[in-house]
Structure 1
Amino acid sequence: MSDKTILRYTSNQRTNHWLVAILFLMAGLSGLALFHPALFWLSNLFGGGPWTRILHPFMGVLMFVLFLGLVFRFWRANYFIANDRLWLRRIDRVMKNEEEGVPPIGKYNPGQKLLFWTLLLCMLVLLFSGLVIWRSYFSEYFGITTIRWAMLLHALAGFVLILSIIVHIYAGIWIKGSVSAMLHGRVSRGWARKHHELWYRQVTQDETRGEAPKRPITKKG
């Protein structure tokens, strides 16, 4: 391990993240193509209207399954703690990069935690509403009123999900080093101390416990 960097994401975690990102892009574009006639030209990316209608639900289900991988990996780190509430009350200082009076936080800041749970909620709504309106397999088991409500919920959840991902991308670019962490897995110790001090303390304490005791220096003779 480099003395100057800290492991933030393993290769498996990064692969999981980028697979979800790719599937989100594909499911999002195909969903927009089916959402409104003005966006139907996007279906050309998937081989036309029929193929878009066929592929979209499968991509959505696969995206949800892979997203569950992220949930199982990171849900503990996204629990809210006492410092998070104070951090949110002082969000104006955070936006101005003012550190005075801003409490230290763990591996994820409260904004990231809110995003995490928002994404999970949207994914669940998209999954269950999508199953209801999946004509090839499930929609025949539901009444027209249920299907219409499911279509509305599906569209709303998709809209919130897209907005949330836009915020996620913007925040990742705004906080320098975040994108690099998800690409390469490591962050500098200074970055960790500045943005996630509680997590930095935990990691460095774990490193200290894991160090082998140094052999004492003895003099001969």
Structure 2
Amino acid sequence: MAAQLNTENKRVHSASGDELVSRKPVLLMRYRGFTRCNHWLTALCMFALLLSGFAFFHPSLFWLTNLFGGGQLTRWIHPWIGVVLVISFLGMFLQMWRLNLLRREDIEWGKKIGDVIQGKEGNLPEVGKYNIGQKLVFWAMSLLILLLVITGIMIWEEHFSGLVSIPVQRIAVVAHALAALGCFFVVLAHVYAAIWTRGTIRAMTRGTVTGGWAFRHHRKWLRELARRDVGREPGGK
């Protein structure tokens, strides 16, 4: 009996802070305050990095340096914002990597992308806290940020001058720019999906989502929280 209870309470599709916080109406805690702050700090850093980086991408965009106090200050502050981004994103990565591992149902969900676009959720397999689209965004950003870090160190002359040869630096500059463009498009996809899927943004502003939203988009996650909630009051009481 104890072994069965332990199996039922095992977290497979949810994080430790996820829980049912209200039954009438049904509200579920999806992201705690620390995770939300971590997310918005990462988003702010990424936005600042894209703006300051694009300022040097093409002469026609150099006016963007005015947002950071001019060209010289922009060149100085850009890599330091990158340092903050890495620390912030690492915090998110350590919290979320396990739940972003691909599972069999994710592949089946991805094969039915047409039903996703048409809003036919009834035809889709049940998924956990994240679907394959969200997982691909997570891993794409992880790899792109890693590439930005490696190439960024190579071209950060103030602190790493002479670390690599000039020809390697030139390759690093191109790779850095391509990785930044990749981040730009991944961020666009992430923002579009969050707006398109109604009820999603409140998860990162208020921390909670409705039971209807969870049932429609992340049913396995909802079922796991419901099993864990049996026999206790909402909110852990």
Distance 1:185 1:117 in 2: 22
Q: Which residue pairs with 2:164 in the alignment?
A: 142
- Give 1:96's aligned amino acid: Q
* 1:168 and 2:207 aligned: no
Distance 2:46 2:122 in 1: 38
* Aligned residue runs from structure 1 range 56-205, under 5 A: 56-205=78-227
TM-score (norm 1): 0.93
Contact kept in structure 1, 2:129 and 2:221, CA below 8 Å = yes
Q: Which digits, 9 at most, give the CA deviation of each residue in 1:31-75, with x for residues without a partner?
A: 011211111000000000000000000001110110011101111
Q: Which digits, 9 at most, give the CA deviation of each residue in 1:76-95, with x for residues without a partner?
A: 11011110111111111111
Relative contact order (C-alpha < 8 Å, sep 6+): which is higher? Answer: 2
- Give 1:170's aligned amino acid: Y
Contact kept in structure 1, 2:129 and 2:220, CA below 8 Å = yes
SS of equivalent residue, structure 2 residue 125: coil
Q: Which digits, 9 at most, give the CA deviation of each residue in 1:7-42, with x for residues without a partner?
A: 000000000000001111111100011211111000
Contact kept in structure 1, 2:121 and 2:217, CA below 8 Å = no
Distance 1:99 1:50 in 2: 51
Distance 1:62 1:70 in 2: 13
| Pick aligned residue for 2:73 from 51, 66, 78 | 51
- Give 2:115's aligned amino acid: R
- Give 2:104's aligned amino acid: A
Distance 2:161 2:199 in 1: 45
Runs of 4 or more above 6 Å deviation = none
Runs of 5+ consecutive residues of structure 1 not aligned to the other structure: 213-221
Distance 2:38 2:231 in 1: 30
From the CA coordinates, give the structure whose radius of gyration is larger: 1
SS of equivalent residue, structure 2 residue 22: coil
Distance 1:131 1:61 in 2: 10
Q: Which digits, 9 at most, give the CA deviation of each residue in 1:100-140, with x for residues without a partner?
A: 43100000010000010000000000001000000101132
Q: Which digits, 9 at most, give the CA deviation of each residue in 1:138-160, with x for residues without a partner?
A: 13221011101110110010000
Distance 1:8 1:100 in 2: 22
Task: Give the drift of 1:211.
Answer: 5.1
Matched residues, number: 212
Q: Which digits, 9 at most, give the CA deviation of each residue in 1:154-194, with x for residues without a partner?
A: 00100000100000000000001111111000011111111
Distance 2:200 2:169 in 1: 40
Contact kept in structure 2, 1:105 and 1:199, CA below 8 Å = yes
- Give 1:19's aligned amino acid: L
Distance 2:69 2:230 in 1: 55
Distance 1:44 1:64 in 2: 25
SS of equivalent residue, structure 1 residue 34: coil
Contact kept in structure 1, 2:151 and 2:173, CA below 8 Å = yes
- Give 1:175's aligned amino acid: T
Q: Which residue pairs with 2:18 in the alignment?
A: none
SS of equivalent residue, structure 2 residue 128: coil
Q: Which residue pairs with 1:216 in the alignment?
A: none
Task: Give the drift of 1:2.
Answer: 1.6
SS of equivalent residue, structure 2 residue 124: coil
Task: Give the drift of 1:209.
Answer: 5.2
